[in-house]
Structure 1
Amino acid sequence: MFSKLVVYSGLLAVVLSAAVPAQDPVPVVSQTSDIQPDGSFQWSYESGDGSKQEQSAVLRQVGEVSVPVLQGSVSWTDAEGVAHEVRYVADENGYQPQSADLPVAPEVPAAITRALQWIAAHPAPAEER
């Protein structure tokens, strides 16, 4: 049983290694990094294939806690030649991406909006909850 497992594993490794074509590594064209003692930072890079990423952070006081506020962007071109870009902020309100590539939720139907307004205006008595 063990010998069959070894043989099958070896065959699987040969098949998988043959299925992946060799690719040249993508060079890093430029790169910067600056980290400050207070925890703020800024970094960026650009690859030879045109993809870029940058991010920065500063500390913001929220109540009694210091939280990092991150801003950044990433851009790339896919295999079909279409350019993509995502810009984002991450802070005490969570991750907030912005991109033309992100799906947009459909509008809430008017009947559901009215129903939610009615429910908010007429809460159930405490004993029914």
Structure 2
Amino acid sequence: MKSIIVFTVLIAVAVAVPVEEDHAAVIVKSQNTNIGVDNWKWLSETSNGITQQESGNIGSAQEGISVRGSFTYVDPNTKQQYTVTYIADKNGFQPKGEHLPVAPAV
């Protein structure tokens, strides 16, 4: 009986602990453009400072899909804004940002 009471109290405490979640962010801008069958472009912005954009196209079998884009966000701890730009193509995903480490030349 004691174990049931202890278990019930632990569950009650776990449920009562506030969880910090930011459900207040809303989309303030969104644009999607279908440029023909094999091309696309989109962008979005949320009220908490996150912005994203991407464009791409489906090339030939040799070229493959090519994507270019970026996203910006604010670190909730430092309040510093970071931007990552990227290319994704036959050479893989290639992100760049001042805060990202750079691999040594091969």
TM-score after normalising by structure 2: 0.75
State the match for 1:70 in structure 2: 67
1:39 aligns with 2:38: yes
4+ residue runs of structure 1 moved beyond 6 angstroms? none
Distance 1:107 1:60, change over 3 A: closer
Higher helix share: 1
The one-letter code of the counterpart of 1:68 is I
Superposed CA deviations along residues 80-126 of structure 1, whole A, max 9, x for unmatched, are: 12110000000011001111111134678xxxxxxxxxxxxxxxxxx
Structure 1 SS opposite 2:17 = helix
What is the DSSP-based 3-state SS (H/G/I as helix, E as strand, rest coil) of the residue aligned with 1:15? Answer: helix
Range moving further from structure 2, 15-24 or 29-38: 15-24
> Quick one: percent identity of the two aligned structures?
27
1:39-80 alpha-carbon deviations (Å, 9 max, x no partner):
3111110111221000111122243xx621000000011121
Q: Does 1:82 align with 2:80?
A: yes
**2: CA distance, partners of 1:61 / 1:17:** 56
Asked if 1:27 corresponds to 2:12, the answer is no
Aligned to 1:94: 92
Cα root mean square deviation, aligned: 2.9
If asked which structure has higher relative contact order (CA below 8 Å, sep 6+), I would say 2
Query: Scaled by the length of structure 1, what TM-score is found?
Result: 0.64
Number of paired residues?
102
Could you tell me how far 1:34 is from its partner in structure 2?
1.4
Query: CA shift at 1:29, angstroms?
Result: 1.0
Consecutive unaligned residues in structure 1, runs of 5 or more: 109-129
Question: Residue 51 of structure 2 aligns with which residue?
Answer: 52
Alpha-carbon distance in 2 for matches of 1:17, 1:40: 49
